[in-house]
Structure 1
Amino acid sequence: MSDLSPSFVTSIAQALNSTHVPCVLWGHYLLNVHGVPSIIGSIDFVIPDGCLQAGVKALSQTSRITPCQHGETCPSGPQERYTPPPAFHMHVEASEVAVGLYVQSETLWFLPALDESLLCPQKPKLPPYLVLASDQTVLPPWRPGRGSGVFERIEHPVVIPQSIVLLEAFLRLYARDSAKRIGSFAMPMIGYMEQYVDDDGFLDAKQLPEPLRTFYMELREGKKPVRQWTKELKRALGMPDEDPEDHPK
């Protein structure tokens, strides 16, 4: 069985940081930390676009992480996915669990650039949109029927986006990719954030910037058909007003 423990995730973050690659936890592991009971098939991090080659080298030198042997048929590769693919991935040895690197321009492009202040992160010095995965003041504990929750007793700090930032990311990703095959994943992610994070009191929707706050509340309340809501969201964010039904999957 693959090691999906917080200590293993921490070791990957430490390997990236030690080679001067700032990183932020991403993907389904991040959902679990925020309390969403998501199945984990990969351990993903967002890194600066310019650090991709250094990140690849860091993963290649990390124990228990091996190159992908599946080529284009790998479920983590762009050909087989229904979610945005990583820029690069490897695998935890003897398993199908991937370790993926995503670049900031494809994931958290609306945040300031990730920089070297995150190489040895400390809670008081983090920007307000980021927290440590071990911060018990803002993250939920483990609870039955929920995700893993906050990290405990880790050797190296792991940086994660605040729950409100993760919700914002899913809203923006949905607006950006709704006309593509990979765009459909973001809508259930928004629903998970509503059900398991917002409804449990670990997210303050009032912190969403406009127009996202208004659109999120409309979606929660079911005021409009999703197709109409999607068109209006894309227009509000200045994105091309494309209809998914006009494009082949």
Structure 2
Amino acid sequence: MSNLSQSFMASIARTLNSAQVACVLWGHPLLNVHGVPSIIGSIDFVIPDDRLQTGIKALAQIKRLTPCLRGNLCPSHPQERYTPPPAFHMHVDASEVTIGLYLQSETLWFLPPLDDSLSSPQKLELPSYFVLASDQTVLPPWRPGRGSGVFKSGEYPVVVPRSFILLEAFLRLYARDSAKRIGSFGLPMIGYMEQYVDDDGFLDVTQLVEPLKTFYEELKEGKKPVRQWTTELKEALGIPEEEPEDYRTW
């Protein structure tokens, strides 16, 4: 769909950056960039918490985007999702396709704050944990049975987390939300990173911080029951154990 083209994603990043809102690609489009085959129903970006209102105003200037009028009937509403919801979203041409804004405190909180310098990525030497979506030296090319891979050169520069940072995010998100309904997505995402990124040689596990590196390798070995592994991961990260949500109440 043209709605979900790399050019359209880049245009959203340009709009946010023009309003001095630093943004980092997130969600299923980011999985595709890293070579994970994933159906894209939304284009998501992580932005600084204190720039949310500015980001909302910037998106409102895009003619193809319309406000969500469906309330809790919208598939992007928290009660309808099995994945963490965005802080704000709009619809593309009143369709099911959405543009979502996620807060850094809910997604990439373990990284330094996204600062204003990232709103001019074409002029910036990126931190070591980010890369441009068009960087062919780091990201995989398009391959059959994989995601879209690296952006074509010539597009407006879009910032993406490197693969080891994306894996770290999924490990931390799973540990944080494993007792919740929205935490159910975390373990499959870690598995996709192993199958499509690590196994294909596009993930440098040595760059993963401890204790996450050890826990990722333990999960790959499969020698521990997942419940035990999850409990030990939460303990290592200082996350208190919670009673699982009763999914029957949803």
Deviation at 1:12, TM superposition (A): 0.2
Find the residue that maps to 2:45 and give its secondary structure.
Answer: strand
Secondary structure, counterpart of 1:184 in structure 2: helix
RMSD: 1.2
- Structure 2, unmatched stretches of 5+, are none
Kept after mapping to 1: 8 A contact 2:16/2:55: yes
Match of 1:128 in 2: 128
The residue number in structure 2 matching 1:83 is 83
User: In structure 1, how many angstroms separate the alpha carbons of the residues matched to 2:123 and 2:179?
Assistant: 39
1:66 Cα deviation after fit: 1.2
Q: Distance in 2 between matches of 1:131 and 1:153?
A: 14
Q: Secondary structure at the match of 1:40?
A: coil
Query: Which secondary structure state, in structure 2, belongs to the residue aligned with residue 79 of structure 1?
Result: helix
The residue that corresponds to 2:74 in the other structure is 74
> Is this contact kept in 2: 1:2–1:97, CA < 8 A?
no
3-state SS of the aligned residue for 1:45? strand
State how 1:58-73 maps to structure 2 within 5 Å: 58-73=58-73
Structure 2 partner of 1:112: 112
For the 8 Å contact 1:139–1:149, the answer to whether it is kept is yes
Task: Provide TM-score, normalisation by structure 1.
Answer: 0.97
Q: Any idea what the Cα deviations from partners look like across 1:203-230, whole Å, max 9, x if unmatched? A: 0111111000000000001010000000
Matching residue of 1:156: 156
Kindly indicate whether the alpha-carbon contact (under 8 Å) linking 2:118 and 2:124 is maintained by their aligned counterparts in 1.
no
Q: Is structure 2 residue 9 aligned with structure 1 residue 9? A: yes
Paired with 1:162 and 1:152, the residues of 2 have a C-alpha distance of 17
Name stretches of at least 5 consecutive residues in structure 1 with no aligned partner. Answer: none
Among 229, 245, 248, which residue is 2:246 paired with?
248
**Residue 25 (1) aligns with residue 25 (2):** yes
Name the aligned partner's letter for residue 119 of structure 1.
Answer: S
Alignment correspondent of 1:195: 195
SS at match of 1:101: strand
What fraction of aligned residue pairs are identical, expressed as a percent? 76
TM-score (norm 2): 0.96
